[in-house]
Amino acid sequence: MKEKWTPHIILVNALIIFVLLGLACASTPPNIVYIEVPYSEFWEKVRQVNSPWQGFIVEAYINASSEDSFSIVSDPTIRETFWIRVHGRSYRGYRSFYNTYVDTLQFEQYDNQTYRRIDKNKLYRIYISTHQVYNDERWIPIIDRIDGLMSLEEVAIIEAQQRADREAAEETRRQERAATRQRVQENLIIGPSNFNPANYTKVDLFEAVAVSERLQMSLRPGEHEELDIFGVYTRNFVSDVIFVSQNGTDITFRTEDNAISRRMKVDSRTGLNSGQKVRIYYGVYRIRDWRVDAIERL
């Protein structure tokens, strides 16, 4: 028996056709027209957006990367920055109109390797479209494409050269430290055979006195401070000074301009002459006598 087309059946079929047509239309994104805007006007343009499929082109530097965003700036030397999400990473909290279409040529997906392809000193043309926040009327920008990114092969070459430069610089520093250590060892008046001058910071004796008065007496050390074997805060310095006198284990030095003098402790005879200029390596304390670790002749 042939089924009759009642008004109810006709209405249901019409609704089904309407939904299918809607899905078919929704499966193809409209062409986005990207409008070039100056960086200074970009964020104001984003605030004026009130519908999807709007795009902008902005020239900017990319200076940082997070889990799902890039930071863009107008000048690589300034600290002002804005964060923009990218395709291919997290979309937490956002209803993206483009998630279905990120595999098309119009949008690029970015992964954890993308930031390696960015030159922080290069001005990029960045294509950005707008997306709506869940349960909100605001529209947020998401990066669709960045022109001119380096290939991973180019990145590998640059990183290899950077590693080679770092290794060469470190080897140069190592050789310089070894040469300094050898020179100091040959000129030591007193000091251990394994003495390492690299552990001491060069300062004027006056500055060392000022630092000692600021050393912490709390349970945790401040910056550059450390605890010695007696649980006392200390800093290690090296200074060029004038020898004043030695009385047993007490030894006194002064600055060349005679602005300040300081008595310290030493474990051996030094054989120095009054007025002799030397370089001393020493630890400073706030609540203990300073201790001379080594003396180098100049």
| Residue 275 and residue 243 in contact, taking contact as beta carbons nearer than 8 Å | yes
Tell me the per-residue pLDDT of 205-250, one tens digit each, with 9 for 90 and over: 999 998 887 775 544 444 444 544 443 457 889 999 999 999 999 9
Band (pLDDT 50/70/90 cuts) for residue 92 is very low
What pLDDT is stored for residue 68 in this prediction? 77
Where do we find the tokens 């022109």?
A: 147
* Segments making up each domain of the chain, as ranges: 32-153, 184-297
Residues 69-93: what's their mean pLDDT? 74
Q: Tell me the pTM.
A: 0.51
Same fold: 32-153 with 184-297: yes
C-alpha dihedral sign at 264, 269, 274, 279: negative
| Percentage of residues in the chain having pLDDT higher than 90 | 35
Higher pLDDT, 20 or 259: 259
Band (pLDDT 50/70/90 cuts) for residue 262 is very high
Q: Is the pLDDT of residue 167 over 60?
A: yes
Residue among 147, 145, 144 at smallest CA distance from 52: 144
What pLDDT is stored for residue 134 in this prediction? 58
Termini Cα distance of the chain = 118
Residues 24-44: what's their mean pLDDT? 72
Range 201-219 burial, b when 16+ CB lie within 10 A, else e:
eebbbeebbebbeebeeee
CATH number of this structure's domain 184-297: 2.40.50.500
Please state, rounded to an integer, the average pLDDT across all residues of the chain. Answer: 78
CATH number of this structure's domain 32-153: 2.40.50
